[in-house]
Structure 1
């Protein structure tokens, strides 16, 4: 009887840690940001979606594992590293904001996904890595914040919490890359691409200014 009760308690604690990690991770990742805007656009274009999803998921898994394992102290102890990432990220976002604006104001034919020249696998890989790793907030949110929240768990439960956050990342990026095709009927209209690129440009410009003007912390 005691073994059954112990198993029930252990299972309940495991599921609780897992669910908390999942909801926390989902809350951090499901937002309008430069990475998600890039991923959504690639999903709509059906351009290397497997590669994009894999890079984003693996990157998140590495960052979450780093936070849970206690590497978040690096973010706290060496803030100058974040400053370099901050300004590099601002330059990258500013460039992509201009690119999105150019697409939004270009001819309608150029916005037809079937007529667009697909970027190479290497270009997509580098862009995806840049959108992920040149964002200083990913270190503050994923590494430091999730790492700090995992400290409330002991005896391995912190990894159950971290695994829940990793599952949220997998679910989100698989959904946004492969689920974007459900929106394709809407984006057969070139004006819809204009609106999307306009919104992407505004988001990236806003984030760029935020990185330049707002201190990290």
Structure 2
């Protein structure tokens, strides 16, 4: 739960899209499905294998930090620009194809998601007896379902507040701060472990 419950780029996208209220079940299905696939790969041994090679973990962490910085800059630029309040009554003009493609990119091409849901959960699973790994994976998947249900449901509850332009600025500033903080923490974990010489 600790690895899944964190506001990363995918979670920030889910919050924004949930406020608009379009194609939410499809978006949730892709998010959870991606976590299921990554958790399955990790618990089947990928995480344990990769953990033997520090440079792979470090490359994933550096990629994740850069990915977070990029999303932080996008959110900061949005917060500092002119804010146009989307029409929350009809979810704006967002197609199913746009939601599917954006959610897939955030789920499968996000180095931080690969690091957390695939590698780290896989490494933790590798420390458990074979008889407990299936239950551990099921618990991780349950945490993913609960987290995205809370994100989407919570965003819909507070959606009326986002009829005010200032709230979109507050959201974007908050997302930018979280992205930069997580990028710093992720990069620091690489520096703490040190870069291997060969």
Give the TM-score band, short-chain normalised.
0.7 to 0.9
Q: How many residues align?
A: 190
Q: TM-score, normalised to structure 2's length?
A: 0.76
Assess, with a 3 A threshold, how the Cα gap between structure 1 residues 137 and 88 changes in structure 2: closer, same or farther: closer
- 1:104-151, Cα deviation, whole Å (9 max, x unpaired): 22334x133449854443443333233333444434433343334334
Larger Rg: 1 or 2? 1
Q: How does 1:6-155 map to 2 (within 5 A)?
A: 26-82=1-57, 85-86=60-61, 88-108=63-83, 110-114=84-88, 118-150=93-125, 151-155=127-131
Match of 1:23 in 2: none
1:201 equivalent in alignment to 2:171:
no
* Aligned partners of 1:111 and 1:194 also within 8 Å: no
Matched residues in 2 for 1:79 and 1:198: separation?
A: 34
Write the deviation string for residues 156-197 of structure 1: whole angstroms up to 9, x where unpaired. x32022112111111211221244211112222221111001
Q: 1:122 to 1:79 in 2, by over 3 A?
A: farther
1:181 equivalenced with 2:159 (yes/no): no
CA RMSD across the alignment: 3.0
